[in-house]
Amino acid sequence: MTTPLPPGIQLEKVDDRIMTLNVGPQHPGSGHMRLIIKVDGDYIVSCDPDPGYVHRGEEKMAEYRNYIQNIPHLERPVIHDSSNILYPYCLAVEELLGIEVPERAKYIRVIAAELNRCIYTLYWLAIYGIFLGHSTMFMWPAGDRELFIDLLEAMSGARVTHAYLVPGGVRNDLPANFEERCLRQVDYFEKRLKEYQAIFYKNPILISRTEGTGILSRTDAIRLGTTGSVLRASGVNYDIRKKEPYDVYENMDFETVVMKEGDSYARSYIPYLEMFESCRIIRDAIRKMPKSGSVRTKLKPNPKGGNDEVYKRVESGRGELGYYIVSNNRPEPYRVKISVGSFRNLICMPYLLKGELLGNMPSVYWGLNYWPVEADR
Partner 1 sequence: MSTAGGIIRALNSGIKHLAVRRFTLRYPEQKLKFVGDGFQFNPETGVGIAGLRGRHILYHDHCTGCQLCAVACEGIAEAIGMVKVNETWKQNKKAIMPQIDYGKCVFCGLCVDACPFYALYMTNDYELSSFTKSALIYTPAQLAVKPKISQDVEIKIDDRGATHG
Q: Least distance in Å: CB of 167 to partner 1?
A: 12
Q: Which residues touch 36 (CB under 8 Å, ≥6 apart)? A: 8, 9, 20, 21, 22, 23, 47, 48, 49, 50
Measured from the CB atom, the residue of 13 and 298 that comes closer to partner 1 is: 298
**Cα→Cα distances 191→68, 180, 188, Å:** 39, 17, 5
Q: Which long-range contacts (CB under 8 A, 24 or more apart) does 94-97 make?
A: 94/167, 94/168, 95/310, 95/312, 96/305, 96/306, 96/308, 96/310, 96/325, 96/327, 97/67, 97/167, 97/299, 97/303, 97/304, 97/305
Tell which one of 283, 296, 313, 344 touches partner 1 (CB under 8 A). 296
**Between 255 and 294, how does the x/- string for binding to partner 1 read (CB under 8 A)?**
---------------------------------------x
Q: Least distance in Å: CB of 350 to partner 1?
A: 33
Q: Does 19 bind partner 1 (CB under 8 A)?
A: no
Q: Least distance in Å: CB of 147 to partner 1?
A: 7
Separation of first and last alpha carbons in the chain: 36
Q: Does 212 bind partner 1 (CB under 8 A)?
A: no
Are 311 and 322 in contact by the 8 Å Cβ rule? The answer is: yes
Q: Which residues touch 251 (CB under 8 Å, ≥6 apart)? A: 288
Three-state SS string over 173-196 comes to: CCCCCHHHHHHHHHHHHHHHHHHH
The sign of the dihedral angle between the CA atoms of 329, 164, 321, 101 is: positive
316 phi and psi angles, rounded to 5 deg = -100, -175
Measured from the CB atom, the residue of 172 and 329 that comes closer to partner 1 is: 172
Q: Least distance in Å: CB of 287 to partner 1?
A: 20
Q: CB-based burial of residue 53 (10 Å sphere; 0-12 exposed, 13-18 middle, 19+ buried)?
A: middle
Rounded to an integer, what distance in angstroms lies between the CA atom of residue 307 and that of residue 101? Answer: 22
Measured from the CB atom, the residue of 25 and 141 that comes closer to partner 1 is: 141
Q: Does 146 bind partner 1 (CB under 8 A)?
A: yes
Measured from the CB atom, the residue of 60 and 202 that comes closer to partner 1 is: 202
Measured from the CB atom, the residue of 77 and 228 that comes closer to partner 1 is: 77
Tell which one of 4, 6, 7, 204 touches partner 1 (CB under 8 A). 204
Q: Does 154 bind partner 1 (CB under 8 A)?
A: yes
Tell which one of 13, 291, 298, 300 touches partner 1 (CB under 8 A). 298
Q: Does 60 bind partner 1 (CB under 8 A)?
A: no
Q: Least distance in Å: CB of 139 to partner 1?
A: 10
Segment lying near partner 1 (by CB under 8 A), choices 40-48, 51-59, 195-203, 275-283: 195-203
Rounded to an integer, what distance in angstroms lies between the CA atom of residue 260 and that of residue 187? Answer: 29
Q: Which residues touch 6 (CB under 8 Å, ≥6 apart)? A: none
Tell which one of 54, 158, 326, 357 touches partner 1 (CB under 8 A). 158
> What is the footprint of partner 1 within residues 161-180 (CB under 8 A)?
161, 163, 171-176
Tell which one of 110, 118, 295, 352 touches partner 1 (CB under 8 A). 295
Tell which one of 1, 5, 14, 198 touches partner 1 (CB under 8 A). 198
Tell which one of 99, 199, 310, 358 touches partner 1 (CB under 8 A). 199
Are 234 and 257 in contact by the 8 Å Cβ rule? The answer is: no
Q: Least distance in Å: CB of 13 to partner 1?
A: 43
336 pairs with which residues across the strands? 325
Q: Does 74 bind partner 1 (CB under 8 A)?
A: no
Which SS3 state, helix, strand or coil, does residue 131 take? Answer: helix
Measured from the CB atom, the residue of 18 and 207 that comes closer to partner 1 is: 207
Q: Does 157 bind partner 1 (CB under 8 A)?
A: yes
Measured from the CB atom, the residue of 101 and 353 that comes closer to partner 1 is: 101
| Residues making contact with partner 1 (CB under 8 A) | 64-66, 68-69, 71-73, 136, 143, 146-147, 150, 153-158, 161, 163, 171-176, 184-185, 188, 195, 198-200, 202-205, 207, 294-299
